[in-house]
Amino acid sequence: MGQPRIPVAILGATGAVGQRFVQLLADHPWFEIVTVAASERSAGRTYADACNWVISGDPPAAIGQLTVDSLEPTVDGRIVFSALPSSVAREVEPLFARAGYAVCSNASAFREEPDVPLVIPELNADHLALIERQRSLRGWRGFIITSPNCTTTGIAIPLKPLDEAFGLRQVFAVSMQAISGAGYPGVASLDILNNVIPYIGGEEEKLERETRLLLGEVRDGERIGADITISAQTNRVPVLDGHTVCLSLGFDRAPSVDEAIGALAGFRGQPAAAGLPSSPARILIVRSEPDRPQPRRDRDAEGGMAVSVGRVRPCPLLDLRLVSVSHNTLRGAAGGSILNAELLVAEGYVR
């Protein structure tokens, strides 16, 4: 017989990201969902009744029968996945961390706190070193780690190997973001159909700051952001899932197109991330067709855990241009957070 699975709870389980957690964790080899929790509106109802399931198919039968809990830090489970709105996460996640849970958060509430790791395992697994500092500073038995904003994830992954090889200095990023990124019910259909909305509150600042943190380092317990100038413009477009970002990049040493493609295609990520149950075989997929990547065709690559890039070409403004596509609720939210939890287990932070 194999090891017993680690019991986990999902906070905000009824929302757009919470549903992805349920979908991905239902048959997870290491984790077993024992608690689904949401607002007072849902608490006390069965999950199937409380949840308006917006992804394909139906909720897994066993989870559908669970009764939704409220957000009390006494739930069953050792790992707590948080898919709560940021304002709620700010209040609730510390209660769980203090009570001894390992909190893997999707919310932005603690991403920029100097003692809270912001992690994509292939990029900066070593930032988990902040956990000890967090525990001793805050006196918590548990801890919080965070995964980045969904759009940040889709650009930080291709930027990492380019930065390592050529020294990234400037990023100009224009996003076209799917409506599932706004949660449920999200953007009104009368606003988004036949339209583009050139504003997503707080998104540009998150993209700029979080990317610098992910590409930065932890030195002597201090998190130091990368010295990169980033200008982001973010747009909501009528696509269901999958964020597209057009990037222009400036480097210390401008690569040729072939050198850039070589660095992207050869990216394997930090060894600590290899072989985890949710690690994709290919982290980055370089498309050579002139009209790829596209969200409808490329967002599900490697189960939604790979980032697809293409249109790698010279840039007359900076040095190089390319386009990236990533799945915002899989790699950019629930899948990324589950990968973080797997890393915690593999590195001995959760037993």
Active site residues: 150, 243
Q: Does 71 bind ligand NAP (CB under 6 A)?
A: yes
Q: Which residue is nearest to ligand NAP (CB)?
A: 15
How far apart (Å, rounded) are the C-alpha atoms in residues 311 and 321?
7
Q: Does 17 bind ligand NAP (CB under 6 A)?
A: yes
Rg (CA), the chain: 19
Task: Candidates 99, 184, 233, 254: give the one binding ligand NAP (CB under 6 A).
Answer: 184
Query: What is the residue-wise DSSP string for 237-250?
Result: -S-SS-EEEEEEEE
Q: Does 64 bind ligand NAP (CB under 6 A)?
A: no
Residue type at 284 in one-letter notation: L
| Residue nearer to ligand NAP on the CB measure, 94 or 332 | 332
Q: Does 328 bind ligand NAP (CB under 6 A)?
A: yes
Instruction: Find all residues with CB under 8 Å of 64, minimum gap 6, and list them.
Output: 46, 47, 48, 58
Cβ count within 10 A of residue 141? 10
Q: Does 85 bind ligand NAP (CB under 6 A)?
A: yes
Q: Does 14 bind ligand NAP (CB under 6 A)?
A: yes
**Longest Cα–Cα distance in the chain:** 60
Q: Does 15 bind ligand NAP (CB under 6 A)?
A: yes
Binding to ligand NAP by CB under 6 A, coded x per residue (else -) over 131-170, reads ------------------xx--------------------
Task: Candidates 146, 180, 211, 340: give the one binding ligand NAP (CB under 6 A).
Answer: 180
Distances (CA, A) of 32 to 28, 78, 90, 109, 316: 7, 10, 25, 26, 51
Q: Does 313 bind ligand NAP (CB under 6 A)?
A: no
Binding site for ligand NAP (CB under 6 A): 12-18, 38-39, 41-42, 71, 83-86, 88, 106-108, 149-150, 180-181, 183-184, 328-329, 332-333
